[in-house]
Structure 1
C-alpha cells in the first residue's frame, strides 16, 4: 500500500508484499488511468458480447459505450481511484480500483467498490487482492462501516475474490443495467 501507508510493496493475498508493485492514489482523469479504464471496459464488453452473442465487441460499440462509463465520481470529493504501479517504472500501471462515497437506503454512509481490474498478463500474482484490501482500507479511513458492489455473473474471477476476502452476496441494491449479483462487507 505504498503511497497510502509507506510500505514498499502491495500486500498479497496472505498479507505478504507483492514484489515490484505499489498501490497508490491515482487521478482517474490522468491519460494512463484512462487507458487502464478503457482496457477494463473493452474486457468486460468483450466478455458480455462473447457470452450473449458469441463475438467480441465491435470498435463502434467500444467507441459508443466507453464514454458512457462514468468514472468522474471516482475522484475527490465523491470518491478515490487507486492504481497498482510498477515500483521500478512508475509509467506502468497493472491494475486499478475505484471507490465512491454513497448513502444506502437507510441513509448510512457506505463505500461502493467500482472498476476492479488487473491486466490479464498480471493476474494470479495477488494484485487484485492487494487492490481490494487497499480499497477497504481507504473506506475505513473514510469512517464508513460497510462497503458494497454490484457485478455480473460472468465475472467469475472477481466474484471468487470477493468471497475469499469475506464479502457476502446480498439482495439487489441497484438497478444498473448489467448488474446481476450484489455483494457487501462490514468493515468492523
Structure 2
C-alpha cells in the first residue's frame, strides 16, 4: 500500500525526486519552446511550522513522488500555505495517489493553522489542472511572480481550526 512520510526537503531521497521533477518539467517545456527555470527549495521553508515536505512510497517502499507546503504571506482569508513541487513518477499515475497526496498536504496545512491553500502551475499541465479541480481548487488571481506559472489556484479551508 502507498504511504506518505515527512522528509527534510534537502534529504537525498527528496532531493533526487525534486531533480527528477525539475528534469521532467525542463523536457516538457522545451518541447513547447518554453524555458523552465528550476529552483531547489529552501529547506527552512519546508520545516514546521513554516511548512512540510512529504515523500510518497509505493508498496515496495520505493520513493515515487513528493510534494510540500510552505507558509507564504497571508491572503484574503488569513493564514496561507502554498503547495509546491507536487510530483509522481509517470508509472504511478492514475492510481489516485495524486488525490491522496493533495489530501495529506491539505490536512497538514490545516494542522498548521492554514485558512487557505494556493498553488501555481503552467497551462500545459492539463492532468495537474484536472487534479486541482477534482480536489476543490478554483482559479484565482496571480499571487506570485513564478516565471514558470501561467495559472493560479486557491482553496479556502472552511472549518480550519485557528490557534
Q: Tell whether the structures are fold-level matches, with TM greater than 0.5.
A: yes
Contact 1:111 1:146 in 2 (8 A): yes
2:47 alignment counterpart:
75
Query: 4+ residue stretches of structure 1 with deviation over 4 A?
Result: none
Would you say 1:101 and 2:82 are equivalent positions?
no
Q: Find the aligned partners of 2:97 and 2:7 in 1 and give their Cα distance.
A: 16
Residue aligning to 2:107: 137
Distance 2:77 2:103 in 1: 25
How far, CA to CA, are the matches of 2:75 and 2:108 in structure 1? 22
Paired residues in the alignment total: 157
> With structure 1 as the length reference, what TM-score do the two structures score?
0.77
TM-score w.r.t. length of structure 2: 0.88
- Residue 87 of structure 1 deviates from its aligned partner by 4.5
2-structure distance, mates of 1:155, 1:71:
24
Give the Cα–Cα distance (whole angstroms) in 2 for the partners of residues 122 and 71 of structure 1. 27
User: In structure 2, what is the Cα distance between the partners aligned to 1:71 and 1:50?
Assistant: 28
CA distance, structure 2, for counterparts of residue 156 and residue 107 of structure 1: 27
| Aligned-partner SS, 1:113 | strand
